[in-house]
Chains A and B, each alone.
Chain A
């Protein structure tokens, strides 16, 4: 697994940076006809540390609704999660939290 990037905590005296709340980005996993349901659940459980019920619920959301938001937070962290999902072959994207 690639290391999960943690948010950079360097103090920056720039008030513009505070205009965007840190939780305004999402990692989204999309349905595809290839990845097995058991595999997707396994990845959600082991990578994100979700309990079995949560992993199963998110996997089924991907399967039936076409996609599921699996994480919310700062953009760099969502990109790190997306990189990790790609490492497992899952079709993941990053997006701004819809208003």
Chain B
């Protein structure tokens, strides 16, 4: 057993939302038609901006590995939340507070997943520069909330 190094306290409602979002994220990265999705493309940046052939070759060698790791990380998040990412309404009690204790590898899976989910959301929201932020749009609220959770996790990891 690995030692638990990070403990997250998260409301049941927050956990339900998070599991729903991470479940959707997992579905996006495992979709066989994912090659056409700009949000998936953001997870596989062009390694050689001025050389299409080298970029393609790099993506051929690394793309499946990266998307496979995104799916595996997402599974870790869902498992440690105690949810499978399916129908959010069927899981958990929204009024309870969940305590999620993570080992180091699990914490890193969470960190990479929250970061990747933000990248996908940013693509969907059309965020292209630092000023593209609309506080009135509730989707930005979720985006910011995931950023807040990510920042807290990074801070906890850095404190060790």
Contacts and interface: CB of A to CB of B under 8 A. Distances in A.
B115 A39 contact: yes
Contact of B45 (A42, A45, A91): A91
Given A36-B150, A45-B158, A95-B48, 20 more contacts: A33-B130, A34-B119, A36-B147, A38-B154, A39-B151, A39-B154, A82-B47, A82-B58, A83-B66, A86-B44, A87-B69, A87-B112, A89-B43, A89-B115, A89-B116, A89-B119, A91-B45, A92-B47, A93-B47, A95-B50
B155 interface: yes
A38 B151 contact: yes
B127 A33 contact: yes
In this complex, the member of A79, A83, A86, A89 whose beta carbon has the largest number of chain B beta carbons within 10 angstroms is A89
Closest A-B pairs by Cβ, 6 of them: A89-B115, A34-B122, A38-B154, A33-B130, A42-B154, A83-B62
Number of chain B interface residues as a range: 20 to 34
Interface residues of A, number: 21
Q: Name A's interface SS.
A: mixed
B50 to A, nearest CB: 8
B111 A2 contact: no
Nearest to A92: B45
Contact of B46 (A2, A36, A87, A93): A93
Contacts of A86: 43-45, 47, 62, 66
